[in-house]
Structure formats: C-alpha cells, structure tokens
Chain A
Amino acid sequence: MAGDAVVTQGGEMNFVHQAYVWLNDPLNWTNPDALLDQLKQHLEISFGAVFLACLIGLPLALFFGHTGRGGGFVVAVSNVTRAVPTVAMLTIFYLSGLGLGVRSAIPALAVFAVPPILANAYVGMRAVDPEVRDAAVGMGMSGGQVLWRVEVPLSMAYIATGIRTAIVQVVATATLAALVGGGGLGDTIAAGFGLTIAAGGGQILAGGFLVAVLALVVNGVFGVAARYATPRPLRRPLRLTRWWRRRRNASATGTLG
C-alpha cells in the first residue's frame, strides 16, 4: 500500500502539513492501488450501486405509483434497511461468494440506494394532480400513455431528487467498502489507521479530505443535474432569479422603496 512516505517533523505532529505533503507525492496518486485507482473503484462502486438500485427501484415506484398501491411496502423497505448497518450489509455480501471488492460492494450498497429512489419516485407519482390524470384519461390516453406522457414527466423532479440522494449517500458509504476489502478511497483512510496515528495521521486526514470533497462535489453536480432533468416549466426558479423577478416586478409597479 502506498503511504509510507510520511514526514514527521522532529516529533512535532502537524497533521495538516503531513496531509499536504502526502497529497503532493505523485506516487501516492499513480502507484498501483493508490489514489487514482481507488477513485476509479470508488466511482465504479457508487455508480454501479445506484444503477442497480434504479433498475430495481424505479419500475417498482412507477408500478406502485401508477396503480396507487404498495405505499405500505415502500415505507417498510425504508424502515427495515435503516436498521441494518452498512458494515453488516457489506460483510454479508462479501461472505456470499460474489467475490472480493467491487463485485460484492455494488449489490451491498445498492440495497441502501433503493429506498430513497423508490420512496421519492413513489411520492412524486402520487403527487400528480388527480384532475390532470382524469383529463389525460378523458383525452383518450391509455394507461401506458398516462404513465409515460403525464405521470413520469410531472414527477421527474422527485425521481431526480431520489437518484441524487441515493448517489450522494452511496458515494459517502462506499468509503466503508475498504473495511471488507472492497477498495475505493476508504483504503487510504483505513491504511492510515492501520499505521499509528503519529505516522498515519497525515494520510488519514488526506484520505478524509478527498472523500469529503468527492461527496460534496457529487452532491453539487447532481443538484444541477436534477434541476436540468426536470421539465422547464416545473423548475423552481433559482434564488437569484426569484430575487431579480421580484425586484423587476416591484419596480415596474413602483412599490420598491
């Protein structure tokens, strides 16, 4: 494992400096199984798990939402999975014979990605105005047409939010895959904890920093993506746009002090 390049400055433990030095060593990035490989694994696990969860969660949500049944099931799935520790789920799949690493980490994390995707999409489908649905039926649309042309577009904001919540959560929890040999950026942190704090403190901090940045970046990117996945008329205007419109309207009517 990379990460032996730790500088301890005459006993003084400046971990931030250590982390900085550690991150500046190119070998810590390019070595086999070092940061770049770990980042690739991390994204592979995260997107694999969310893709798998979409394959399971979205059809269920569309079916339950369209028929108006299964609300209790959706709630039950969310509640039961919350009580199972991620570490436990990773361990179960690790021991299930799927193999080491990405192959067992993806299904394990998909289990936790299903509830947000399923619940949000279901809520979105049920939030469609019944009168709109009636109007669509009155226009002679078939069940399939109502689903694809009315219900799905109108609940797109919810569906996108569910996927975003899932991906942010999975990127964060994929770090734990390192505890059961699943790879990903957690390896850097776990390896640092494997050394003593005095020797590995910088590496631990560097790993934590990278994972936190990745989680926040993914959160931001998917926030924007979720916005663009929503049909334009349904988008909530940005705060700046709202402020600008209010100002414009106010000045047009002369009420702005």
Chain B
Amino acid sequence: MSFLGSAVAMPASASNPWFSWDYLHENADTILTLLRFHLVVTLQAVGLAILVAVPLAVLAYWVRPLAAPILALSGVLYTIPSLALFAFLAPYVGIGTRTLLIGLVVYALLLIIRSTLTGLQEVPADVLDAAAGMGYGRFARLWRVELPLALPGLVTGIRLATVSTVALVTVGVVIGQGGLGQLIIGGIRNNEYHAEIATGIALCVLLGLTLDGVLAILGWLATPWSRRAAK
C-alpha cells in the first residue's frame, strides 16, 4: 500500500484523458530519459546474460552430466519472484542500477541457456562427422560449425530474453529504477494520471515488440544458409 500513499495533485485539467499531446510535449525530456534508460539497461542485461549463458550452454553440451544441474539451477533462479530477488540484492548491493542489472541477468539466463543448448544438440550427427573428418579440433568445430548451426536457437533465446527483460525492468520501480515503469506507477501515485500511465505502458510494449523485430531481422541476416535451404 505504501506505494500509493503519496498523492500529488494532478496537473490542472479537469478531464483525465488516456492520451494527451500536452502531457507528451511538456514531459518529453523525462519520457525520453526513461525510455533511453529502459533501452540501455535491457541491452546491458541481455548482453551480460549472453556472455554468461553461452559458455554455460557449451559446458552443458560438452560435459553431458553437467546439463541437468545447470538447467535445474537456472530453473530455480527463474522460479524466484523478481521482487524477492531485488529484495535479496538490495540490502547488500544497494538500490542502484547494479541491483536491477543482476536481477535482469539472472532471469535472462535460463531462457538463453535452454535454447542455445537445444540448438547445439540439434546439430546433425553427420555434420559433426564431416567436421571431424576435415580435421577440425574441438574449439574450431564449436566456433565454425556448431555455434553457427545453433544460431537460430540462440537467436530465439535472445529474443525471448529481450522481450521479457523489457517487461521486467518495470519491476525496478521498487528501487526507483523502473525505467518506463516509473511512468506507470508514478502515474498511479500522481492521482491516477491516465496520460502518464498509458504513455508508460504503450512505450514499454512498443519497445519490447520493436527490439523483438530488430533481433528477428538480425537473426535472419546472420543465417543466410538457412534462407537458401528454405527455397
């Protein structure tokens, strides 16, 4: 309840429309700052998650017995509610961007590990034989054959992780780092200021869908061979 406690007077307008040019115009700086923060935090979190998740997926792929524990551990972390995770981190890491980032990375991990591992495991056995026959070592085979062929799986995981990270950033409001979520909760606190709330929600959904689309195109461009095969 404490989050709705402080009611600030609503801006001077009797009606409370869901969309208002005046609101957008007068608050353009705030909105753009929050949008930029939301975007940057999302990209940082997903980037860090890729750096952690892909090596873990490769490890699980190379060392079979480690696959189950790695998936189980990231699954348990994924089950912990986001608010609880921020609750664990905040007293020690503080209420800065770092707490938000760690939380976001933890949630993105499972999605990327799972789909990368699936992608790696689906590399056909005869391709691996061919690579071995051509004299590829373990690392060269991974880098030149297995990872490129697992790329569609990796892209799927990154897209899932990106969309859910954009949504998850809003939970950062509890530590004052909610990006566009600040507009949503701020709007409720601000006497249910509809224009502010709707702007926050709309930009958030649009950001998620836009990033998803951009990643889909990048994935399409990065795998020309799968396009050729499709024809």
Q: Give A residues with C-beta under 8 Å from B.
A: 1, 13, 15, 82-88, 91-92, 94-95, 168, 171-173, 175-176, 178-181, 186-187, 189-194, 197, 201-202, 204-205, 207-209, 211-212, 215-216, 219
Known: A85-B181, A168-B79. A201 touches B91 (CB 8 A): yes
* A190:B188 contact, CB within 8 angstroms: no
Known: A82-B167, A88-B205. A190 touches B174 (CB 8 A): yes
* B173:A179 contact, CB within 8 angstroms: yes
Interface residues on chain B, number (Cβ under 8 Å)? 48
Query: What CA separation (Å) do A186 and B4 show in the bound complex?
Result: 14
Interface: B43 (CB within 8 A): no
Beyond contacts A85-B166, A194-B2: 17 other A-B pairs, Cβ-Cβ < 8 A, are: A13-B91, A15-B91, A83-B209, A85-B205, A88-B204, A91-B197, A91-B201, A179-B185, A180-B4, A205-B91, A207-B84, A208-B88, A209-B88, A212-B81, A212-B84, A215-B81, A215-B84
* B81:A85 contact, CB within 8 angstroms: no
Task: State which of A180, A192, A216 has its C-beta within 8 Å of the C-beta of B79.
Answer: A216
Please name the residue on chain B nearest to A193 by beta carbon. B174
Please name the residue on chain A nearest to B68 by beta carbon. A239
Please name the residue on chain B nearest to A214 by beta carbon. B81
Please name the residue on chain B nearest to A182 by beta carbon. B1
CB distance from A207 to the nearest CB of B (A): 6
Mind listing 24 A-B residue pairs with CB under 8 Å?
Answer: A83-B167, A84-B167, A85-B201, A88-B201, A91-B187, A91-B197, A171-B81, A173-B82, A179-B185, A180-B4, A189-B174, A193-B174, A194-B2, A197-B91, A201-B90, A204-B87, A204-B90, A205-B88, A207-B87, A208-B83, A208-B87, A211-B83, A212-B80, A216-B80
Contacts of A219 in B (CB 8 A): 79
CB distance from B176 to the nearest CB of A (A): 9
Query: What CA separation (Å) do A202 and B87 show in the bound complex?
Result: 9
* B4:A181 contact, CB within 8 angstroms: yes
Contacts of A82 in B (CB 8 A): 160, 163-164, 167, 208
* A189:B2 contact, CB within 8 angstroms: no
Query: What CA separation (Å) do A86 and B172 show in the bound complex?
Result: 12
CB distance from A190 to the nearest CB of B (A): 6
Contacts of A175 in B (CB 8 A): 81-84
Please name the residue on chain B nearest to A91 by beta carbon. B184
Contacts of A186 in B (CB 8 A): 83
Interface: B149 (CB within 8 A): no
**Secondary structure class of chain B's binding surface, majority of residues:** helix
Contacts of A179 in B (CB 8 A): 3, 171, 173-174, 185
Known: A82-B163, A85-B181, A92-B201. A172 touches B79 (CB 8 A): yes
CB distance from B95 to the nearest CB of A (A): 6
Task: State which of B76, B84, B167, B212 has its C-beta within 8 Å of the C-beta of A86.
Answer: B167
Query: What CA separation (Å) do A87 and B186 show in the bound complex?
Result: 12
* B87:A205 contact, CB within 8 angstroms: yes
* B1:A181 contact, CB within 8 angstroms: yes
Interface string of B84-110 (1 = CB under 8 A from A): 111110111011000000000000000
Task: State which of B79, B81, B83, B94 has its C-beta within 8 Å of the C-beta of A197.
Answer: B94
CB distance from B5 to the nearest CB of A (A): 8
Please name the residue on chain A nearest to B175 by beta carbon. A193
Contacts of B58 in A (CB 8 A): none
